[in-house]
Chain A
């Protein structure tokens, strides 16, 4: 069960879209999961053949539970030689290891690591020492984000991945371990708030307190089941209420833990609006752009230039994100809020971004989002212009470190070069995590955003 947001503890399988024996590729939608917020399409993490579905439709399980097993090409390859005719019928005829790799989609030759789809694979530059270290630790260099000059994978990049993997254990205080054992709490499901994300006693108590009321009720009924999370249904919650509670938990956590600072600036949009008007005149209605698309694109480019705002606060340090996935705050019909990601927003041209935005809004409001969209956002943008407000001071979506707000585009008297004119302007605000950045960095972001919006044709 993937975590489809920092506020998700458990999910219900509502539908399987694959069955045992199906071949899946990384990124394929394989199941639909009901969270407190929405039905989310879950994508496969890996390529291979579905072995077994372990959790049935309607079952609610904690995040981290294995939902299904997939044998990868390498695992299948290791099953032969000898190739047995009674072996699992793979959709493509597996080639025996001796024969040269034939068709476009062969089973991988033996003893090669599983390959992600070829298009996604780029071979990064790394020194021999780094290659050796990665090989020792069993880390695929292609999956490592390089932070060195020109994207070179440095030793630190590899070490960062090695330490959690090598130990494979949860960081928890001895006392937290003890009480978790006594209370039957699975530490892998507890979010640590101690130094370096270590789990402390209060984190364990936080989990048990949430489950507490339901557990007490169950105990009175004499049901001796192992402790587990109460589900939304058990709480008698509707989806609406679940969404409200999830939002409440996350926002409370943000305001409790994140020291926000706020900056705001008013940006002259006359060039941007003129450009938009002229462009929209030339295209059919369905391809017309709205100002929000320009603001989103400019935000994505600006944060690429100020990468200190793009990423996550992890326990005690900032981890920059390798790409810009713009979370877009979308209000739902009937109340509630979601912020799914426009992936790689900085690389989309404005018409494409507009198209993706329309698609995203439609799907979110229909209650169908994809898992990667729910978890990948690296910074969030909220636009309350439709509602007529001029300024938005937003609450950061943890573990992100910044949120950009836009108000309504309004006409205002505006002095330029000693003359007063009437211009369309928008107030852009930045809420940022003071642990990760200082006002200087935030100011640089707003300045960059302003400059980008003065040249809409190159956005």
Chain B
């Protein structure tokens, strides 16, 4: 098995290529995915390789093309729908929430919706208040869909086949700051288990829970804390719905402290949900209050220094862990 260094973007492209090649029912559609190669260049070259039937540029109407994807899935296809960024997905929210998530139930179990909807999420690229949202926590609120957030190159490569194998809708959130990150890729066809969170770094002093883009900040913080003798266990949630309670709570039972890093706004966030689950299931294991590092509750600023100040940075994570560990 050859280990090779690839970018997150290349890993996603490789997964799409494999899916398109391996299953005639799979096709990719979205704005600029064909001739332009995708607004984050994920699908670059796929149009040339698989042709316009399999890699389809769509009009600028998220509601229409997400709806079309759901219809195709109902009709037996395995569509991969790309939405440029999560803010545009709001235009398709009705399709996702009222159709994709509900039809299995509304049809009395007759119609499942095996669609995969990919979109970029998160801030950090100076795209200002309308293009920097982290709304995956909102989607994780919705029963009937699965929400995944690949944070590593291996997961970017391995989550798509698992998502396509799921008979129900899967939303895949790709953090914009990750596309150019590099990592080692193991086996070519390694599907990943998206039911389980992953322990990215073992530790005994505190559990640091992150996902997607925040995993980078969490690991950087863990490295710095290690220099002070504080060993932090870093958990990558991977799947935001359903949350893998067993891994999270199991870790907290060992470390007795939890710090959550969430790029969403604090109020009503995924971090709030995790914090509640931990107190519900492991209250008597907690030796300190649960700490959260979230994005400042402001529209994301354009200016670089203000944007950085608004987002969960490693220094804030380090501070929160120190507070928890005391």
Interface residues, chain A, with chain B CB atoms under 8 Å away: 173-178, 193-195, 200-201
Contacts and interface: CB of A to CB of B under 8 A. Distances in A.
Contact of B284 (A177, A194, A195, A200): A177
A195 B326 contact: yes
B286 A174 contact: yes
Given A195-B326, A201-B287, 14 more contacts: A173-B256, A173-B288, A174-B283, A174-B286, A175-B285, A175-B286, A176-B287, A177-B284, A193-B326, A194-B326, A195-B288, A200-B287, A200-B288, A200-B326
29 contacts: A173-B256, A173-B286, A173-B287, A173-B288, A174-B283, A174-B284, A174-B285, A174-B286, A174-B287, A175-B256, A175-B284, A175-B285, A175-B286, A175-B287, A176-B287, A177-B284, A178-B284, A178-B285, A193-B326, A194-B288, A194-B326, A195-B288, A195-B323, A195-B326, A200-B287, A200-B288, A200-B326, A201-B256, A201-B287
B184 to A, nearest CB: 38
Interface in B268-306: 283-288
A195 B326 CA distance: 7
Nearest to A194: B326
Nearest to A193: B326
B325 to A, nearest CB: 10
Contacts of A178: 284-285
B60 to A, nearest CB: 52
The 7 closest A-B pairs by CB, nearest first: A175-B287, A178-B284, A173-B287, A201-B287, A174-B284, A200-B287, A174-B286
- Which of B283, B284, B287, B326 has the largest number of chain A CB atoms within 10 A? B287
A258 to B, nearest CB: 15
Contacts of B286: 173-175
A19 B256 CA distance: 50
Contacts of B288: 173, 194-195, 200
Contacts, number: 29
A178 B323 CA distance: 21
By size class, the interface of chain B is under 10
Interface of B: 256, 283-288, 323, 326
A194 B288 CA distance: 8
A174 B290 CA distance: 12
A201 to B, nearest CB: 5
A9 to B, nearest CB: 22
A194 B286 CA distance: 13
A150 to B, nearest CB: 38
B231 to A, nearest CB: 15
B288 to A, nearest CB: 6
A439 to B, nearest CB: 24
A178 B285 CA distance: 8
Nearest to B285: A175
B83 to A, nearest CB: 42
A193 B325 CA distance: 11
A174 B285 CA distance: 7
Nearest to B253: A175
A175 B258 CA distance: 13
Contacts of A194: 288, 326
Contacts of A200: 287-288, 326
Nearest to B256: A175
Contacts of B287: 173-176, 200-201
A124 B99 CA distance: 71
B229 to A, nearest CB: 14
Contacts of A201: 256, 287
A177 B286 CA distance: 10
A61 B256 CA distance: 32
A178 B282 CA distance: 12
Contacts of B283: 174
A389 to B, nearest CB: 36
B156 to A, nearest CB: 37
A177 B287 CA distance: 9
A196 to B, nearest CB: 11
Contacts of B323: 195
A83 B322 CA distance: 63
B3 to A, nearest CB: 41
Nearest to A177: B284
Contacts of A177: 284
A175 B256 CA distance: 7
Nearest to A201: B287
Nearest to A181: B284
A194 B322 CA distance: 11
A195 B320 CA distance: 13
A176 B283 CA distance: 11
Contacts of A193: 326
Contacts of A195: 288, 323, 326
A200 B283 CA distance: 14
A195 B286 CA distance: 14
Instruction: Indicate the member of B283, B323, B326 with the most A CB atoms within 10 Å.
Output: B326
B290 to A, nearest CB: 11
A174 B287 CA distance: 6
Nearest to B288: A173
A340 to B, nearest CB: 32
A199 to B, nearest CB: 9
Contacts of A173: 256, 286-288
Contacts of B326: 193-195, 200
Contacts of B284: 174-175, 177-178
B253 to A, nearest CB: 10
Nearest to A175: B287
A195 B285 CA distance: 17
A194 B256 CA distance: 14
Nearest to B323: A195
B285 to A, nearest CB: 5
A195 B325 CA distance: 10
A174 B326 CA distance: 16
Contacts of B285: 174-175, 178
A155 B51 CA distance: 77
